[in-house]
Chains A and B, each alone.
Chain A
Amino acid sequence: MLRRSIEGLGQRTIEGVWRIGFAARFFGAMLLHSGTAFRRFGLTIREMYFSGVLSLIIILVSGLFVGMVLGLQGYETLQRYGSESALGTLVALSLVRELGPVLAGLLFASRAGSAITAEIGLMKATEQLSAMEMMAVDPIARVVAPRFWAGVISMPVLAALFSAMGIFGGYLVGVHLIGVDEGSFWSQMQGAVDFEQDILNGVIKSVVFGIAITTIALFEGYDAPPTAEGVSGATTRTVVTSSLAVLALDFVLTAFMFRGIN
């Protein structure tokens, strides 16, 4: 019994290491064969439509509501200390540094990441990828790499839109609903938010999340067993793994970026 469970652990470890190795090779091949994605940028644009433009609605609406909630809750807390005028700072900093990239990343993982996995998995299950290979077209270059770059480009755009929308939502609630002074809302915000330290770091975060999410989604799809259960399992794993990756990476990046500030 004990021996069995140790064997099971060993087998799972070996499989895990093998999978990591395979994923690393996959990532390398994807970067190596990215030429097509840029030479024929139309392919990448097409994928940007599917992963970026089609995620717009959910990103904009969520951003607006998150910003509005931040406005309400932030005001509630700040007014206890008589510093309502810092509401703009609170809304902007939390969105630009953390919530924008992270929430946009989580939404992107469940909206676009799952779709990518399901699509690639189905293409594999219906032998479309094999057919492409037999037609002397490399699926990594033709199918995978354009989706990767589309995700990497779309993610910071979505995160920036999320933050902007959220700040607008906080402004609506804070200034128009509650009545915080408009001038101090914006000026305090401007005084506290730094372009390089806060906004650029947020953009870097979102690019890293984009790389992580699309790589996981593409790999899960490419690696999925060619059956219905295989594809659905891979889709679930994409959402779970990439969401966890976003949160863990966020911690690591935050620790590096904002160390020594304040």
Chain B
Amino acid sequence: MQHDTLVEIRDVVFGYGARPVLKGINLTARRGQVVAIMGSSGCGKTTLLRLIGGQARPGQGSVRVAGESVGELDRAGLYRLRRKMGMLFQFGALFTDIPVFDNVAFQLREHTDLPEDAIRDLVLMKLHAVGLRGAADLMPSELSGGMARRVALARAIALDPMLVMYDEPFAGLDPISLGVTGNLIRRLTDTLGLTSLVVTHDVQESLKIVDYVYFVSEGVIVAEGTADEIRASDLPYVHQFVHGEADGPMPFHYPAPTYAEDLRLGVQRA
């Protein structure tokens, strides 16, 4: 396994308008690894993927992929870099107006001049890798959630990217699909020599397959380590997250005035 860095994020600060989402994030992913970014919903994990894919630019700090600073690339440079990235969106984001086959063939047709025969072979190979060669002629609306996710994965790896990002690949899947998807991510990473960046809040499933984990909370990395280190961690936040406890350092309540104040207890009513 090569141990050089593919994705490097240094001191990134980012916010939508006045609301800060990321407040100084440091993160590294080496080639060939499956790296998970965990945290509760709405903590800025997806934003991190958007920064790596160049769909948003960091306010401060740098995001480097394969040595190139994503935030400073022009349009052409960004599109060149994106051809080497794959992204699996939360619900697959398959093109609903064309069949599975054309979905997977999309990038091959857009970016290459391959003859239709070669495209057919490549698409069937990718679909075979996710176990859905037989579904090539179905429309996306005929697929189950787990199958759609796998088709989207086949589409993401169509151009043999160096980096694949997964946005909540386990969300809304039944336990069987969950295991299938998890194994698939691990297997594809190893056999195709990819680097995988998984954003998830499904701890148990992802701890089975990842090499390294980052915990994000309120815009900063609160913990990191290998899967075993995380399982053994006694940091309160990680403990709460791994064991799914309702209350802890990550509060159950959204920030609000005190309960008594909100109910106007002790206030003279006019």
8 Å CB contact of B110 from A127, A131, A135: A135
8 Å CB contact of B111 from A123, A131, A136: A136
A134 touches B87 (CB 8 A): yes
Q: Mark B94-121, 1 if CB is under 8 A from A, else 0.
A: 1110000000001100110000000000
In the complex, what's the smallest C-beta–C-beta distance from B161 to chain A, in angstroms?
Answer: 10
With contacts A135-B107, A137-B107, A137-B110 taken as known, whether A130 is within 8 angstroms of B55 at the C-beta atoms is: yes
Bound-state CA distance A60–B53 (Å) is 48
A128 at the interface (CB under 8 A from B): yes
B79 touches A126 (CB 8 A): no
A133 at the interface (CB under 8 A from B): yes
B55 touches A135 (CB 8 A): no
B107 touches A131 (CB 8 A): no
- State which size class the interface on A falls in: 10 to 19
Q: Residues of A contacting B53 with CB < 8 Å?
A: 134
A131 touches B93 (CB 8 A): yes
Bound-state CA distance A101–B112 (Å) is 42
Q: Residues of A contacting B85 with CB < 8 Å?
A: 134
Q: Residues of B contacting A130 with CB < 8 Å?
A: 55, 89, 93
B94 nearest in chain A by CB position: A128
With contacts A134-B87, A135-B107, A136-B111 taken as known, whether A128 is within 8 angstroms of B82 at the C-beta atoms is: no
B55 touches A127 (CB 8 A): no
Q: Mark A127-149, 1 if CB is under 8 A from B, else 0.
A: 11011111111100010000000
B83 at the interface (CB under 8 A from A): yes
8 Å CB contact of A127 from B80, B91, B155: B91
Bound-state CA distance A133–B78 (Å) is 10
B89 touches A127 (CB 8 A): yes
With contacts A136-B80, A136-B82, A136-B83 taken as known, whether A126 is within 8 angstroms of B96 at the C-beta atoms is: yes
Bound-state CA distance A142–B107 (Å) is 12
A122 nearest in chain B by CB position: B96
8 Å CB contact of B96 from A128, A133, A134: A128
With contacts A126-B96, A128-B95, A128-B96 taken as known, whether A133 is within 8 angstroms of B55 at the C-beta atoms is: yes
B107 touches A134 (CB 8 A): no
With contacts A127-B89, A127-B90 taken as known, whether A134 is within 8 angstroms of B95 at the C-beta atoms is: no
Bound-state CA distance A132–B95 (Å) is 9
Bound-state CA distance A136–B84 (Å) is 9
In B176-233, the 8 Å CB interface with A consists of: none
Q: Residues of B contacting A123 with CB < 8 Å?
A: 95-96
Bound-state CA distance A40–B83 (Å) is 20
B79 touches A134 (CB 8 A): no
* Chain A residues packing against B (C-beta within 8 Å): 122-123, 126-128, 130-138, 142
Q: A137-B107, A142-B110 are in contact. List 16 more A-B contacts (CB 8 A).
A: A123-B95, A127-B89, A127-B90, A127-B93, A128-B94, A130-B93, A131-B93, A133-B55, A134-B85, A134-B87, A135-B107, A136-B79, A136-B80, A136-B82, A136-B83, A137-B111
12 contacts between A and B (CB under 8 A): A122-B96, A126-B93, A128-B93, A128-B94, A130-B89, A131-B93, A132-B95, A134-B86, A135-B106, A136-B82, A136-B111, A137-B107
